[in-house]
A and B are shown apart, each in its own frame.
Chain A
């Protein structure tokens, strides 16, 4: 079969991505991005965060609109449950990042996707954040993801898509490797 004649469309503009890769190879300074979020305490454990602007390609950039997100804790924590917990947002980020990667890699490898569903779970021992046991870390003790993919490809090709997506995933890297975090404080006048 001549694969060049089969129309593959996962909704990813792969030519634009390849073009961007070439451009940024030649101009690495334009590849320096800064992502931002702002947040405000809403009372209790409820916080409202928003994202709108970011920096990249050498200048200030803006999303199509401002996106807002509520984080809170569930009622069993005696909270109001106005939104998902912050740790669930990490899983949301991982799901979004890996799935976007799968779509992109599939487009590049000329594999038509029909459905990509992810189930992600992360274990956590609350003895960490509650300070009960100093041997227990605050964060996840493990993250497990399951991808169910319907595509015109073999099992091995699908496994390779998902593996390649992990290899190139920013959120996967954020979770699996340490990152220096700097938090500064100011007192309002």
Chain B
């Protein structure tokens, strides 16, 4: 034993789930179905990060009718709406109560290490021992800020997607939003509406309309089976796992939010932030191409949907095929902006997130610090992960995507426990 030996022994259990968000709770439900003894450790409260690590206007990108977890689904009055932070937390907390999940709150996992036939989990409330570990800590623990952030002039305030709460908390001056995924375009949109001049640096992005042929785009993607595409049946899984979140916003008027609408509202579009020189932010000259790629990709998606609708005979009563205007790029897109001039007072990094595995002291990370896993089965016996992008299916990182993944992984886990012939001995 290590320096943790001073802590009390908290317990031993077959399966320890780390994180009581929708993923951890879904796994707990599946384990209960199979009568597998387990405990969920949660550093704060159930569904903590949905509230504390999101901006105020945050809403789910999927409509309410799509929100379902194993044995549970949305039953509210607004199936086509999009949950706010509070509503998501409510939804998940009600699920935890409904499923009687064995959650131990306010228990932070400090370290997980492998021992013979299991794992030692050191927390700030004592040490657990478990045969299996399910990592359900989410994919969005740490905002990614590129190295270039270190050379942004000191007069400019820098925020991450975890720091940003609402436009009113920003200085009055110009704002440079870096990144045009769902997060970046939503920031650009609401900050621009607050009257501040906004520049949006656009790299590769995914453009999709909110509604298509009279339905939410998620409806078609689900119906066509696109969301069920499995991790072991696509060409380039690594790339699929890095695809940024699509340019969507969930609002009461179901509007699409894309670069054209932002531009119309006065947002200045530039290429990807490519460098800093003499206090100037330099933008890539690739804006046209990333917009073209996104337009082409969107049209391929719409063609897939049209094709499916035609083949399935679904087109009765559904509105006609639509195509959307190509993304407009200025004849001379802005290539640099002087950050020292005061024109830009705030830079917001909407450049993605990564999980935090600093507590995981088992050699299962690759050179990029990502978990080595095959569809959620981590490269260490009895260890599993849930809730990462394209973990097992395209829908894996959605709330509704975890049900199937948890079922598959639970099945594997049960098989693993069956192979462990020796009973668990308390070794702490």
Contact = CB atoms under 8 A, between A and B. Distances in A.
Nearest to B235: A108
Contacts of A163: 289, 292-293, 296
Interface stretch (B206-214, B269-277, B349-357, B380-388): B269-277
A125 interface: no
Interface in B193-238: 204
B293 A167 contact: yes
A112 to B, nearest CB: 20
A176 B293 contact: no
A166 interface: yes
Contacts of B277: 178
Contacts of B300: 156, 160
Interface stretch (B40-48, B71-79, B135-143, B279-287): B279-287
Nearest to A180: B275
A156 B275 contact: no
A142 B292 contact: no
A75 B409 CA distance: 73
A88 interface: no
Contact of A178 (B275, B299, B367): B275
A121 to B, nearest CB: 15
Chain A interface size, under 10 / 10 to 19 / 20 to 34 / 35 or more: 10 to 19
Interface in A142-170: 142-143, 156, 159-160, 163-164, 166-167
B293 A156 contact: no
A156 B296 contact: yes
Contact of A177 (B274, B289, B292, B367): B274
Interface of B: 204, 271-272, 274-275, 277, 282, 284-286, 289-290, 292-293, 296, 299-300, 332, 367
19 contacts: A143-B285, A156-B296, A156-B299, A159-B296, A160-B296, A163-B289, A163-B292, A163-B296, A166-B286, A166-B289, A167-B204, A167-B293, A172-B286, A176-B285, A177-B274, A177-B275, A177-B284, A178-B277, A178-B282
